[in-house]
Chain A
Amino acid sequence: MSEDASPAIPGTPGGDGPMDIGRFTFTAAEIVRFAQAFDPQPFHMDEAAARRSPYGTLIASGWQVVCVWMGFFVRAHPAARPLPGAAAASGPRVISPVGVGFSVEELKWLLPVRAGDTLTFATEVLEDRASGSRPDWRVYHRRASARREDGAEAMCFRLRHFAPVGL
């Protein structure tokens, strides 16, 4: 990802609608690696155990799908740099392009993500408004999603976060 990429926040309103930010194939090895660290339920860890589960085959932890979305979302932004000029004196000296999250609403794991599935990740701004406390920042309400190759949505959520303007 170029550091000279468009400074706009991905998926900003302006008629673009949802914007794709990346594609990822959930191999069995990747599914098991995440599960070993964070979600070692049998249907995320072991193909034989998964066969006896309601899913019938190895599936990715829902949190892995969410974390992969975030990895693409952050990398879709230009790299962080200090705020220019006067803003630097009143705000944090090092800022992140994505900013700080407050909350997630209606996170839905709609379909199991099976070993070998490739998902396309997307984001869309539903609403944004000026921050009341920090003039150079805005509050974003955004929709995140991941869809399979057949177009079916496998995961979605809404995110509220606080991010600097005009990086």
Chain B
Amino acid sequence: MQDLFFEDFVTDEVRTFGSHKVSAEEIISFAKEYDPQPMHVDEQAGKASMLGGLAASGWHTCAIMMRLICDGFLLRTASMGSPGVSENKWLAPVFPNDVLTLRRTVMEARTSKSRPEMGLVSFRFELLKADKTVALDQVCVIMIGRRNPGARLA
């Protein structure tokens, strides 16, 4: 059921969504397929590495964040996909048993002259640990369908 449209995203609004407890098994499973470096697949190698312990691949944290975005609001939203991510910073490693939440800030919402059926919403997405440390900071644009396509916003 898609009941959120472009008009529902208000600039400067900040909300948090969901939570995900990270397991060693999922860190290793993801890394074996997509990022098989020692500190992502082996506890001892993780301890001896710069990260100080078995740590999730940065791309895994991006994927976990995408899932929190989906479950938090995007599956209810008339999403039309994303043209991309302007910046993505890995600020702190993510370890087993970290509990991650999503903080969403609406940075800008603009309509499209060429595609009146949608608008472009720029979000800052942050992945927060339980102690509010930001592990991942990302700025992403999502194309979102308009409730009344072609209507003029005030």
Contact = CB atoms under 8 A, between A and B. Distances in A.
Contact of A61 (B36, B58, B66): B66
A75 B37 CA distance: 9
Contact of B37 (A41, A66, A96, A109): A96
Contacts of B67: 37-40
A8 interface: no
A55 B79 CA distance: 11
B33 A71 contact: yes
A55 B66 contact: no
A115 to B, nearest CB: 16
For the residues of A in contact with B, the DSSP-based class is: mixed
Contact of B81 (A43, A98, A107): A43
Contacts of B85: 104, 107, 157
Given A103-B88, A108-B83, A71 B66 contact: no
A68 interface: yes
B130 interface: no
A93 interface: yes
A52 to B, nearest CB: 11
A39 B70 contact: yes
Interface residues of B, number: 36
B51 interface: yes
A105 B87 contact: yes
Interface residues of A, number: 40
Contact of A106 (B57, B63, B84, B89): B84
A43 B145 CA distance: 14
B88 A94 contact: no
Interface string A118-144: 000000000000000000000000000
Interface string B61-85: 0111011001000110001111111
B90 A102 contact: yes
Interface in B79-119: 79-90
Contact of B82 (A55, A68, A109): A109
